[in-house]
Amino acid sequence: MGLGNFIKDLRNRKEHKPAFGGLEIFKYIGPGLLVTVGFIDPGNWASNISAGADYGYTLLWMVTLSTIMLIILQHNVAHLGIVSGLCLSEAATFHTPKIVSRTILSSAVFASISTSLAEILGAAIAMEMLFHIPIKIGSLIVVIIVGFLLYTNSYRKIEKYIIGFVSIIGISFIYELFLADVNWGSAAMGWVTPSIPDGSILIIMAVLGAVVMPHNLFLHSEIIQSRQWNLKDEEVIKKQLDYEFYDTLFSMVVGWAINSAMIILAAATFFKSSISVTELQQSKSLLEPILGTYAGMVFAIALLFAGFASSITSGMAGGSILAGMFGEPYDIKDSHSKLGVGISLIAALIIILFISDPFKGLIISQMILSIQLPFTIFLQIYLTSSEKIMGKHANNVYTKYILIIIGLIVTYLNIRLFVSFF
């Protein structure tokens, strides 16, 4: 069957029915929530705490800008999944030259590995904080548990706990903020006033990479199809596109609030007390005398939940990207999906074994994501602007220019980062 006939056949099916297995849980909790779990991961914690501890409320604007860009990008890529029945990786394989798709998707696999590194490392750090387990042994434990849950699809049995991860993290930071002495006037100014203090570009890029994550763009376009959209009924598609926007908007705003809370907490405690934070473990010990006996424990428990939840999503993203390179949807029973999950988790674990500074490793991992991001963004713009792929749902001129501006902003910040090294 030729490519044209394949796409035509896909569009004419009553329903798109790949075997998603555990992805079915997102029929009930919304794909946007999965993305939210992905961008309040341990890498965000390190980037945000470093931003608040070193620069106070000054870099809150980057969370606001990143979240606005994220809402637009995630909404746009979800449209690709709903309308075409293809995830971003599959669409790239079918609709771009092989050298282009393989190059960009290979870099996306490396971004997935970088993401998994942060998630696994964060959970391991939390285990050290709570149970005094060495980080490298903790990382191995995390990989074994997450791999088991993904390869057996048994994480379906703990779906309610996955739903609760974001809630626990959010409640934890609300509790922390309640105890802290926050300068809300300075925070409000920081949210809306762009500023790049001397020496802050690395942290800014880390915050950007921690919020607008390439693997989440691939993952959202994949899991949005777990709702089994009817690709034949135009009225159904329109309703689902509208529903997806509210789902994405709500989920991203929740993520914005939690990421902001991290920076505000660090600014109100560490920056205010002129305390430099060089590791997440240090955050727990410092928070206890500043905010109270239980603050550090709450911090560590929330970090543990965030690490495990986001490790699951990063593994799924790695499987989705690699499967898409072979023109297949994510299916953990398929060899390519299995291989993608394995590469994402095992490669990250190997790198962790050679990392001497875990906190710096978290920051750099997020910076790597921001470097890969422009390639994914411009790939997405090309695909979602194509009438051949999207039909009448292709980007209009207004949307296309907004997406291009986002891509240019990310590219500009990457150039600033590159220049800062010289």
For 326-376, how does the pLDDT look when each residue is reduced to its tens digit (9 = 90+)? 999 888 889 999 999 999 999 999 999 988 888 778 878 877 888 888 999
The Cα–Cα gap between 350 and 149 comes to 20
pLDDT at position 290 over 50? yes
The whole-number pLDDT of residue 283 equals 72
8 A C-beta contact, residue 236 and residue 94: no
State pTM to two decimals: 0.80
- Rounded Cα–Cα distance for residues 49 and 207 (Å): 10
- Domains with residue ranges and CATH for the chain: 48-420 (1.20.1740.10)
What pLDDT is stored for residue 3 in this prediction? 43
Q: Left if phi > 0, otherwise alpha if psi is -120 to 50, otherwise beta: which for 30?
A: left
Higher pLDDT, 356 or 112: 112
Work out the average pLDDT over 378-391: 94
- Give residue 11's pLDDT: 43
> Helical H runs in 267-357?
280-291, 295-325, 335-352
CA atoms of 203 and 396, how far apart (whole Å): 34
Among 253, 262, 50, smallest CA distance to 174 is for: 262
Structure confidence at residue 230 (pLDDT) = 47
Residues 97 and 84: their CA atoms lie apart, in Å, by 19
Q: What's the first-to-final CA gap in the chain, in angstroms? A: 53
What's the rounded mean pLDDT across residues 114-126?
Answer: 90
3-state class (DSSP) for residue 348: helix
Distance (Å, whole) CA 227 – CA 232: 15
Q: What is the pLDDT of residue 307?
A: 87
Closest CA to 128 of 139, 117, 115, 116: 139
Q: In whole angstroms, what is the distance from residue 190 CA to residue 62 CA?
A: 9
Q: Is the pLDDT of residue 201 over 60?
A: yes
In 3-state terms, the chain is what percent helix, strand and coil (to 5)? 80, 0, 20
- pLDDT over 90, % of the chain: 35
What's the pLDDT at 359?
A: 79
